[in-house]
Amino acid sequence: MEFTLCNASSINLNFILYVINIYKNKKSNLTDEFLSIEELYQIVPNIWNDMVGKFKPIEGRAPNSSFIYWDKELLKERDSYRILFKDTEEGYKEYLNIWNQYSEWWHNECQVMLNKKMDEFIPTIYELVKNKLISNKGYLPSDNFAIEIVFSEVPKDCLLNGTLFTIESINDFCSESCISKISERLYKLILSKYSIDVK
């Protein structure tokens, strides 16, 4: 059985990026509910990498089940995202307010946009990776892989892949050369899972 490739979009990873954008837009006008931008950038890699590290595949289900389940389980812990704001009552209220704004935007606009965009590219990326695996290695794995799509750039020191997925900004799907680079990252991820030398 050949491997599968899903497009996925995490409400949790994208929330971190949403918060970062709010901080950037406020810049020097950050009120008492917010951390300093320096404090935020110290926290973000820890919470991001912890989330990515919690992914575990689920055997015997639909190809995208593992990625959906992982994201839903993270959602149960979303109160931990309050660490992105001041540890005060006002900071917690601001977190709740921003989460509610984000949730509405995510479900009504962003997730639909990301998935629609990725439906165009997944078949192309799959064929590029599949052909390279056959050409260079002579076989295909049987796991379920995914490309996790985020709406802006991944912050510095944050993981760009989990065990079965790469994390890509939608902004990078802009040309054939960029698609080729994304395919190469997925190809290398697949080889690393099976401890095969990359060529």
Name the 3-class secondary structure at 36: coil
The pLDDT value given to residue 161: 95
Report DSSP state, residue 33.
T
The pLDDT value given to residue 142: 83
The pLDDT value given to residue 61: 67
CA distance 102 to 18: 7
**Structure-token match 């900004």, residue found:** 169
Q: Give me the sheet containing 144-150, strands edge to edge.
A: 4-8, 144-150, 165-169
Q: What is the pLDDT along the chain (199 residues), one digit of tens a residue?
A: 688 999 999 999 999 999 999 999 987 778 889 999 999 999 999 999 999 999 988 876 667 889 999 999 999 999 999 999 999 999 999 999 999 999 999 999 999 999 998 998 999 999 999 999 999 877 788 889 999 999 999 999 999 999 999 999 999 998 889 999 999 999 999 998 876 555 5
Return the domain boundaries, the chain. Answer: 4-193
CA distance 51 to 159: 10
The pLDDT value given to residue 30: 82
DSSP string computed for 54-116: T----TTS-TTHHHHHHHHHHHTTGGGGGGGB-SSHHHHHHHHHHHHHHHHHIIIIIHHHHHH
